[in-house]
Amino acid sequence: MAAPCSLDGCERAAWARGYCSPHYMRLRMGNDLMEPIRKRNRFRAPCSVDGCGQPSKAKGLCQSHYDKQRKKKG
């Protein structure tokens, strides 16, 4: 198991120079290390094609339906 991030209160694994990836990137960019790290919203709306149900990738369509739409135009 990798050592934890050297920032107090962070439980992520250290990635570079003793910091986890988000804190190391903040350090490099000169940003505040103590500002809370936002979590990504991993929810994706379902494809807009009736009955598909796959997560959307672009323009409200899943990868398969988006590829089909692009091929029709080209």
> Residue-wise pLDDT tens for the chain (74 aa)?
679 999 999 999 999 999 999 999 999 999 999 998 887 777 889 999 999 999 998 999 999 999 999 998 76
Going by the DSSP 8-state scheme, the letter that residue 69 receives in this structure is: H
Model-level pTM?
A: 0.52
Domain membership of residue 5 as a residue range:
1-39
Same-domain pairing of 32 and 46:
no
Same-domain pairing of 13 and 45:
no
Same-domain pairing of 29 and 4:
yes
Counted domains in the chain: 2
Q: Token pair of 25, please?
A: 């990137």
Q: In angstroms, what is the C-alpha Rg of the chain?
A: 20
Q: How far apart are CA 37 and CA 23, in angstroms?
A: 9
Amino acid found at 22: P
DSSP-derived secondary structure for 50-66: TT--PBP-BTTB-HHHH
Same-domain pairing of 28 and 55:
no
Same-domain pairing of 27 and 55:
no
Same-domain pairing of 59 and 74:
yes
